[in-house]
Amino acid sequence: MQENSKKALFLDLDGTLLNDAKEVPEKNRIAIDKMLDRGHSVIITTGRPLSSAVTQAERLNLTGPGCYLIAYNGGILYDTSNRKEIFKSTVPLTYVRTIFKEAERRNIHIQTYNDTKVLVEPRCDDEEIRVYCSKILVEYEVIPDIELLEEEPVKMLAIDLHDPSPLQEFREWIASWAGDEIDTFFSCDEYIEIVRKDLNKGNALRQMAQLLGVPVENTIAAGDAANDTAMIKMAGIGCAMINGADEVKASANYITELDNNNAGVAEIIDRFILNSD
């Protein structure tokens, strides 16, 4: 394959590559194998922590040449075939501690992460953490106080499973206090992602494409949720799943005919990669 014809496919997991049962439709698997065999790259691009994303990549057998990960919505870029981080950005502990204190004052669930687990204080050993961890198949640890945290984390996550309005107010407070250093965005109605400024899937796509030597115009991105919008706008071809949010569809060059339960990703691969080689 000529280098300038190589393509890179950036795939969100939940609601995109995975069906509602958190499995990969067989047609998606087959299409991904075909594009990898032709020398293209696949990059799982997710808000999940690295440990969860790596586990998912292993389950999908996306660990060979041409396979990469973007975790924490861009906080970590990872080479799955060589099992190494190639980029990492963290949140300073002063911001982490202040944001945790404000979440406590507002009685909002908040969590952060180390290399292997989700971390919560005792008051957040609750429904939110158990539901979250059951979905992404990662363990959590209760730490006595966030003040004891010694390493800067990549992100924090605020959760409300029942009412998004407290999250929106919390997001507005963070913007007013730390908007020059911290970005926040909804990854779904129940989750607010809290990361370093300018960390998002769009900037991560551009950075990963550069590292891979793939022109941005040769990138394809697929997603369904609000945190996918930046990469869909950044990609050479941005694809929204038919089951996706309206704002995602509005930002896309292409909307799938098939949803995540019926191999919409295979539709994208067939149309923009396999049939365009």
Number of helices and strands in the chain (H, E):
9, 14
Q: What is the pLDDT along the chain (277 residues), one digit of tens a residue?
A: 455 689 999 999 999 999 999 899 999 999 999 999 999 999 999 999 999 999 999 988 999 999 999 999 999 999 999 999 999 999 999 999 999 999 999 999 999 999 999 999 999 999 999 999 998 889 999 999 999 999 999 999 999 999 999 999 999 999 999 999 999 999 989 999 999 999 999 999 999 999 999 999 999 999 999 999 999 999 999 999 999 999 999 999 999 999 999 999 999 999 999 987 6
Question: Distances from the Cα of 149 to the Cαs of 53, 93, 157, in angstroms?
Answer: 23, 8, 16
Give the per-residue pLDDT at 5: 86
- Cα-Cα-Cα-Cα dihedral sign, residues 189, 190, 192, 193: negative
Domains in the chain, please, with CATH?
3-88+199-274 (3.40.50.1000), 93-196 (3.30.1240.10)
Give the per-residue pLDDT at 276: 77
Q: Give kind and range of the element (H or E) at residue 60.
A: helix 50-60
Nearest of 252, 251, 270, 268 to residue 260 by alpha carbon: 268
User: Judging by DSSP bridges, how do beta strands 191-196 and 219-223 pair with one another?
Assistant: unpaired
Main-chain dihedrals φ then ψ at residue 195, nearest 5 degrees: -140, 175
